[in-house]
Amino acid sequence: MKGLLKNLGLILILVGVVILLACSFTGNVNNNAILGSSVVLVVLGLISYIVINKKIAD
């Protein structure tokens, strides 16, 4: 469980990047809801990665 929690931020970042890549390859770059949600996932992944790993290290 600790390993999954430690990698939660990276998983969120990867999900956001996969959504962005899928939108790019399909040409669906005009849908702001999908693009916005993927950017939110990437940002939340970065924040959670930093916070979680800081708390685990302490």
Q: Rounded mean pLDDT of 21-44?
A: 92
Spell out the domain ranges in the chain.
Answer: 1-57
pLDDT, position 31: 87
Residue, of 1 and 55, whose pLDDT is higher = 55
What SS3 string covers the chain? CHHHHHCHHHHHHHHHHHHHHHHHHHCCCCCHHHHHHHHHHHHHHHHHHHHHHHHHHC
pLDDT, position 58: 66
pLDDT, position 11: 94
Whole-model pTM: value is 0.86
Give the residue among 43, 36, 57 at the shortest CA–CA distance from 13.
43
